Copies of this chain bind each other. A is one copy, B any other.
Amino acid sequence: ESANEFRFQKDTLTQKLKETESRNQTLEAQLSDLEQRLESSQLERDTYRNNLCSLLELLDSKIFELTELRDMLAKLMEGS
C-alpha cells in the first residue's frame, strides 16, 4: 500500500472514531437522564405508597370507630 492510501485509511478511521465517541456521549447522557427519571419515579412511588399507607391506617381507625358506634347502638337497643 502507498503512503496516501494509509493516510486515507487513517483519516477515515479517525472520522469514524469521532462519530462513534460522539454517539457514545449522547447515549451516556440519555442513560444518565433515564436513570435519574427512574430514580425520581421510584422516590415518587415511595412517597405515594407512604401516603396511601397513612390513608389505609386512617381508614382502619374510621372502620373501628364505626364499629364502636354500631356496638353502642346495639347496646342501646338491647337495654330498651
Contacts and interface: CB of A to CB of B under 8 A. Distances in A.
Interface string A13-37: 1101100110110011011001101
Contact of A56 (B23, B58, B73): B73
- The A interface, classified by DSSP as helix, strand, loop or mixed, is helix
Interface residues of A, number: 48
A40 B26 CA distance: 24
Q: How many copies does the complex hold?
A: 4
A77 to B, nearest CB: 6
Contacts of A37: 38
B51 A62 contact: no
A23 B38 CA distance: 22
A37 to B, nearest CB: 7
Contact of A59 (B6, B60, B70): B70
